[in-house]
Structure 1
């Protein structure tokens, strides 16, 4: 079973690298915006997993890893939305923001 999980990890890593390396640089930020939804699902899953760990009297390692998963996924979501907001602000006109040249 562990060999299959390692195989899936290696295959997913290789596929992810190949897909991202083929994307033009102009599309990286929009792709990051789309990946925020996936990171949001990761946050919800990590929270649910952590809640089950506390109810079942889980091990310390599971609690630490679950907390780290919530922490890093939250950083990914917040950072992604900050980059998206910055990208979208580049497309607003100076008149809309009240600035005049």
Structure 2
């Protein structure tokens, strides 16, 4: 990787960090649950990409990193859906006791 490519990648990363921070801080609390569900769907796409990378027959660094990515992305998706479900449970009306 050349120095110019590294500087360009760092520049894009810094700009994306600032843009993401500004977007996230402007979201009202009532929209956090739907946005979390969307983020979980995007994490599901990361699982598919990691499965494609980890699907090779030869064991090398790429396959090992792909396997680690599958495990971590799966944990992220499952945990995200559990948190989203728990948050949605707070908005349900409680049944009256008889």
Give the TM-score category using the shorter length.
0.7 to 0.9
Relative contact order (C-alpha < 8 Å, sep 6+): which is higher?
A: 1
Gaps (5+ residues) in structure 1? Answer: none
Matched residue, 2:93: 93
How far apart, in 1, do the equivalents of 2:65 and 2:15 lie? Answer: 23
Matched residue, 1:59: 60
Gaps (5+ residues) in structure 2? Answer: none
TM-score (norm 2): 0.77
Compared with structure 1, are the counterparts of its residues 58 and 5 closer, same or farther at alpha carbon in structure 2 (3 Å cutoff)? farther
- Greater CA deviation, 23-32 or 42-51? 23-32
- 1:33 lines up with 2:34 in the alignment: no
Matched residue, 1:82: 82
Matched residue, 1:5: 9
- 1:18 lines up with 2:22 in the alignment: yes
Q: What number of residue pairs does the alignment pair up?
A: 94
Matched residue, 1:47: 51
Shift of 1:58: 5.3
Q: Over aligned residue pairs, what C-alpha RMSD do you find?
A: 2.1
Compared with structure 1, are the counterparts of its residues 80 and 59 closer, same or farther at alpha carbon in structure 2 (3 Å cutoff)? same
TM-score (norm 1): 0.75
